[in-house]
Amino acid sequence: MGLFSTLHDNSTSNLPRSALAEFQQVLQPNQIILDEMGRRAYETDAFTAYKVMPLAVLLPSSTQEVADITAIAHRFDIPIIPRGAGTSLAGGAIPIETAIVLCLSRMNKILDINTTNRSAKVQAGVTNLAISDAVSDQGFFYAPDPSSQLACTIAGNIAMNSGGAHCLKYGVTTHNLMGVTLVTSEGEILEFGGDYLDPAGYDFLSLIVGSEGGLGIVTEATVMLRPKAEGARPLLLGFETHEEAGDCVAAIIGDGITPVAIEFMDRPAIKVCEDFAQAGYPLDVEALLLIEVEGAPLEIDESLQKIIRTASQFNPVHKRLAKSDEEAAAIWLGRKSAFGAIGRISEYLCMDGVIPLSKLSSVLAKINEICASHKLDVANIFHAGDGNMHPLILYDANKPGIIEIVEKCGAEILELCVLAGGCITGEHGVGLEKRDLMPLQFNEMDLVNQMRIKQLFDPKWLLNPDKVFPIEISKVFQEEGSLASLRDET
Ligand SMILES: Cc1cc2nc3c(=O)[nH]c(=O)nc-3n(C[C@H](O)[C@H](O)[C@H](O)COP(=O)(O)OP(=O)(O)OC[C@H]3O[C@@H](n4cnc5c(N)ncnc54)[C@H](O)[C@@H]3O)c2cc1C
């Protein structure tokens, strides 16, 4: 039985009429999607192998509307799937058949920019890139830069604690968030943090980051703005083996140099990205590192010299420094378009494990062995500087039974990451994709404690249920408040 055997399609809306009547009291007709074609657009996210039709899609335009909808859903026991742009690679925004989708993409206003406080207050549906675009002229930017930044929303980023290529230097979402407005499952509006660093009391803000829509609905966020560096330059280094490239990354970091980004591509990834972006990547190497440093011109030169000196111990066979802004942009376009470019040639399952940097080259070798043992091709492209691996397992969706094989292969890779001292998710979250793998990472007590927190915020388990925790485990917990009976069975 596959991970997702509990999912079913349902093409006729069964939203209770009395609940619909109440939603219609708080929303305009154009904020409620009930027809089958309309709902179909929300039946999956970027984890496209699985699809489930929601009962309805609601499109609120304010925090108060979100609170009203949530209170109604709570009274009628209707599960809610919060959704931003639907770019989750872990199935985080895929509905269940008894749920409504609450899509916040229309809440897309930038509410305030305050360069003195170095903060921007935005509605939940503002896209990641729109924040940097809005403050660029004033010399600022919002640092976390997922490759999906043109589309993905800030609330989706908060829910998944998203990262990106430049997070090596600036940290991921949790390091760049100052405050949120959160609507609870009962429709209460809460504020955590604000327009300043270091709020008093428990650090609830950190609890909300990475909670995958399961603790509350984020309606507004205050994010940190950073001053743009004077300049930045990417360097490409090509190697004949993955080991040399992996060891080079570990040595650069170990030398105390912090480039703004270190990205890794293997031969299959290089070829696909080069075909897509004509970035001038070398096609005759087994591994390519894209390393970017930033700062004033002298600072850039000094960092690059240090990096090249360290890298020379690992026999790079290709070395190219971007000489112009256009060259730099093409180099980054290739990397940032990687998932889309690979999607043009094959279906793929994108894994997202993290490992200690010192294990990079040995884990890479084992990933390739695992994929070969399942007769599956793999393209490796990832944020090497912080050990966030993204093996893309390629498959032909028309082959019967292939999904189960791909999932098994993926599970073995994530188990490998945990055994290497890492974890099962770096930046894409657990969602549906990895919920059954949580026991690889967490013991019974860990899981019980996490579910206690969920229960506290969402006593009826109405917010994004069936995500993050294995179904059987969460059911037993909801019925018994512990996992003791499961333990007795084993
Ligand atoms: C081509 C491609 C490249 C990508 N590259 C990266 C990358 O470099 N780094 C990275 O980290 N991720 C990456 N992703 C994954 C994805 O873009 C991120 O997880 C992103 O944060 C999801 O944002 P979204 O608005 O699309 O959220 P959705 O997909 O709509 O939802 C994601 C999760 O957030 C929850 N959620 C959404 N809105 C709210 C809300 N208002 N309140 C509470 N919970 C909410 C949902 O319930 C769901 O669990 C990539 C995806 C694609 C398709």
pLDDT score of 3: 43
Ligand 1 atom at minimum distance from 212 CA: 49
Ligand 1 atom at minimum distance from 103 CA: 38
Question: Given 68, 83, 103, which residue is the final one in a domain?
Answer: 103
Residue 260, in any domain of the structure: yes
In whole angstroms, give the CA distance from residue 360 to residue 146.
22
Closest C-alpha to 93, from 103, 83, 85, 102 = 83
CB 8 within 8 A of CB 99: no
For the chain, 490 residues long, give each residue's pLDDT as a single digit of tens. 344 434 444 445 789 999 999 999 999 999 999 999 999 999 999 998 899 999 999 999 999 999 999 999 999 999 999 999 999 999 999 999 999 999 999 999 999 999 999 999 999 999 999 999 999 999 999 999 999 999 999 999 999 999 998 899 999 999 999 999 999 999 999 999 998 888 888 999 999 999 999 999 999 999 999 999 999 999 999 999 999 999 999 999 999 888 999 999 999 999 999 999 999 999 999 999 999 999 999 999 999 999 999 999 999 999 999 999 999 999 999 998 998 899 989 999 999 999 998 898 899 999 999 999 999 999 999 999 889 999 999 999 899 999 999 999 999 999 999 999 999 998 999 999 999 999 999 999 999 999 999 999 999 999 999 999 999 999 999 999 999 888 776 5
Question: Given 387, 408, 430, which residue is the final one in a domain?
Answer: 430
SS3 153: strand
Residue 137, in any domain of the structure: yes
Most distant CA pair in the chain, distance: 70
Output the CA–CA distances (angstroms, integers) from residue 410 to 348, 353, 367, 378, 434, in the order listed.
Answer: 11, 10, 9, 11, 9
Q: Are residues 321 and 259 in the same domain?
A: yes
Q: Which residue has the tokens 């994530």?
A: 414
Neighbouring C-alpha atoms within 13 Å toward the C-beta of 278: 1
Q: Are residues 376 and 412 in the same domain?
A: yes
Q: Are residues 423 and 372 in the same domain?
A: yes
Q: Are residues 236 and 307 in the same domain?
A: yes
Which CATH number fits the domain that encloses residue 330?
A: 3.30.70.2190
Which CATH number fits the domain that encloses residue 59?
A: 3.30.43.10
Which CATH number fits the domain that encloses residue 136?
A: 3.30.465.10
Closest C-alpha to 263, from 347, 322, 314, 334 = 334
Is 148 touching ligand 1 by the criterion CB < 6 Å? yes
pLDDT score of 490: 59
Signed CA dihedral, 224, 229, 235, 241: sign only = negative
Question: Given 338, 356, 382, which residue is the final one in a domain?
Answer: 338
Q: Are residues 167 and 267 in the same domain?
A: no
Provide the residue range defining the domain that includes 472: 442-489
Q: Are residues 209 and 119 in the same domain?
A: yes
218 - beta bridge partners? Answer: 182
Residue bearing the CA closest to ligand 1, atom 35: 213
Q: Provide φ and ψ at 406, rounded to 5°.
A: -65, -40
Residue 8, in any domain of the structure: no
Q: How many whole angstroms from 40 Cα to the centroid of ligand 1?
A: 19
> Into how many domains does the chain fold?
5
pLDDT score of 434: 95
Output the CA–CA distances (angstroms, integers) from residue 109 to 6, 149, 387, in the order listed.
Answer: 37, 16, 35
Residue 3, in any domain of the structure: no
Residue 314, in any domain of the structure: yes
Q: Are residues 238 and 311 in the same domain?
A: yes
Is 124 touching ligand 1 by the criterion CB < 6 Å? yes
Neighbouring C-alpha atoms within 13 Å toward the C-beta of 146: 26
Ligand 1 atom at minimum distance from 89 CA: 15
Q: Are residues 322 and 238 in the same domain?
A: yes
In whole angstroms, give the CA distance from residue 24 to residue 212.
27
Q: Are residues 119 and 223 in the same domain?
A: yes
Q: Are residues 397 and 459 in the same domain?
A: no
Is 153 touching ligand 1 by the criterion CB < 6 Å? yes
CB 236 within 8 A of CB 282: yes
Q: Are residues 79 and 50 in the same domain?
A: yes
